[in-house]
Structure 1
Amino acid sequence: MLQRPGENNPWEPNCRGPNPQQHDDPNAEPGPAPNYFHAGRFYCVETICVPCVVVVAWTKFDKSESPTNILNFLGKVYLTEESRPDYICIDKGCQVFATAVANGSWDIWKKTTRFIVDAYHYINHRVLDFLCQKYCNPSPGSYGI
């Protein structure tokens, strides 16, 4: 059964509270649950797919889809430089890129991989987000680095 954000069935408690985190909002750690007498939930399932839509790897994020969680997941999947793809397209690509630069892991990725965003994200962020505009542009041939 699919469940939309903020939708609860009558038999399920409201675990995420009245204001669930929107997809592009900055990540904040959720507070403790008021009780633990309900089925456990995960925030999201993150998948890595190749262009032909074959799933390469997946993991569950229990609290948030933070850029740090995404970078840790990518690091576990792509252990060597030879295994890393040329491009990683992710809707939070500019946030992942900024986090990688801030925590120093960009030194590992910059030799092999560019983080780009999907076209919908780029259209919505390109005017106000210089980092996204310059370094995460999905257009072919647009190299910001």
Structure 2
Amino acid sequence: MPFLTAIQLAAGDVPAQVLPPPATLAEKPPQQNAPPPGTPWGYVRLAIMDGKTIGHRLCALDDCKEDLINYKNGRFCRTHINLKDICGNFGPTLQVQQHLPALNNTPGPKVVHTFRAQTVYCLQTIQWACGVPIGWGKCYKSESAPQVLAILDRVWVNYPDLRPSFLAYDDACDLLRHVTTQDAQSLWLKSTKFIVDAWHYIGHRATDLLCCIWCNPAPTNGSQPDLVITEVDDAGATHTTRAFNTETAEQLNSWLDGFEAQLRQMSATNYDFFVHVLMLVYKETVEDHILHKDRDLSAEFWNQAAA
């Protein structure tokens, strides 16, 4: 689908099947205009976020996040241990499999069961484009936009002026839509551009205007000069390329695969401590790799950046 301008949006010249962006974003896409020739360019930072379906077990009772008493074959925390001898089917609060029969007066799809412990849905990691981890959090029920935003808020709560210029995330368009509709004055909308990582952007809908216009990881219309750069290859040919590697989170997740078996058997406290140690180890590994490749930023760069 061709790129639609803000003028077309305002005029309503949009196909019926196209999903329009929230009204608060309909004026124009946020820009990162290049500085005038001869002036310092400065630098931008891109963070990448992704979820890894690796978690620890929790109390079987819906919405409880407490540790199990018994991690060998237990189902409940200390608060709800009295339920261990009660039938595991009760309550109308959780939507489960549609084909279940009714239990007393409760429809089958709404029967709650506590026959086994729950599990944290995913580990959410955030790192710089170079691969160095920034922070992490846990999504308990699903990788929902409110939970993801809460993790971002917690990571940068004490560093509001150090938020990334760009944030790459596989569901950045839905996250941006959530932020915009919940708080149009959010600091995230003023400090950071939400983009979909290059791999997942291929599968996103061309009819979602918010995704196409605001979350494109490599726009060709010149709207984001920090995301697309011009390079000359060994043959002397000039071509455009992405300025950042937006797949570093996938590389971290692949590395975490080696620890999945241990993490799944841990209590919440041990899990949190172990994940934090893993992030520190991975950080040192990435830094050593950067130094070995002679890709570290020089003191001259930082002097210019601080000027």
Structure 2 length as normaliser, TM-score?
0.35
| Pick aligned residue for 2:190 from 107, 111, 118 | 111
Checking the alignment, whether the CA contact within 8 Å between 1:122 and 1:133 is kept in structure 2 is no
- Residue 107 of structure 1 and its aligned partner are, at CA, apart by 3.0
Structure 1 CA distance, aligned partners of 2:111 and 2:190? 40
Aligned to 1:67: 145
1:100 counterpart = 2:179:
yes
Q: Are positions 1:57 and 2:170 aligned together?
A: no
Letter in 2 for 1:81: P
Q: For residue 45 of structure 1, what is the amino acid of its counterpart?
A: L
CA offsets 1:32-66 (integer angstroms, 9 cap, x no match): 7511x534311111000111222211111110111
Contact 1:122-1:137 within 8 A present in 2 as well: yes
Pick the aligned partner of 2:207 from 118, 122, 128. Answer: 128
**Counterpart amino acid of residue 223 in structure 2:** S
CA distance in 2, matches of 1:96, 1:49: 17
The CA distance in 1 between the partners of 2:116 and 2:155, in whole Å, is 32
Q: Report if aligned partners of 2:139, 2:148 keep a CA contact under 8 Å in 1.
A: no
SS at match of 2:190: coil
Secondary structure at 2:170 match in 1: coil
Structure with the higher fraction of residues in helix conformation: 2
Cα shift at 1:102: 0.3
Instruction: Name the SS for the 2:116 alignment partner.
Output: coil
The 2-side partners of 1:111 and 1:93 are apart by 16
Offset at residue 110 of structure 1 (A) = 2.1
* TM-fit CA distance, 1:106: 5.2
| CA shift in 2, pair 1:128/1:121, >3 Å | farther
Q: Is the 8 A contact 1:97 1:106 kept in 2?
A: no
Q: Which is bigger in relative contact order (C-alpha 8 A, separation at least 6)? A: 2
Q: For 2:118, what is the secondary structure of its paired residue?
A: coil
- Following superposition, the deviation at residue 123 of structure 1 comes to 2.1
Between 88-97 and 45-54, the greater mean CA deviation after superposition: 45-54
Aligned to 1:142: 223
- Name the residue aligned to 1:26: none
* Structure 2 partner of 1:38: 116
RMSD: 2.8
> Where does residue 156 of structure 2 map in the other structure?
78
Given that 1:86 and 1:112 are in contact with CA atoms closer than 8 Å, whether structure 2 keeps it comes out as: yes
Preserved contact between residue 89 and residue 118 of structure 1 (Cα < 8 Å): yes
Aligned-partner SS, 2:152: helix
Computing the radius of gyration over CA atoms, which structure comes out larger, 1 or 2? 2
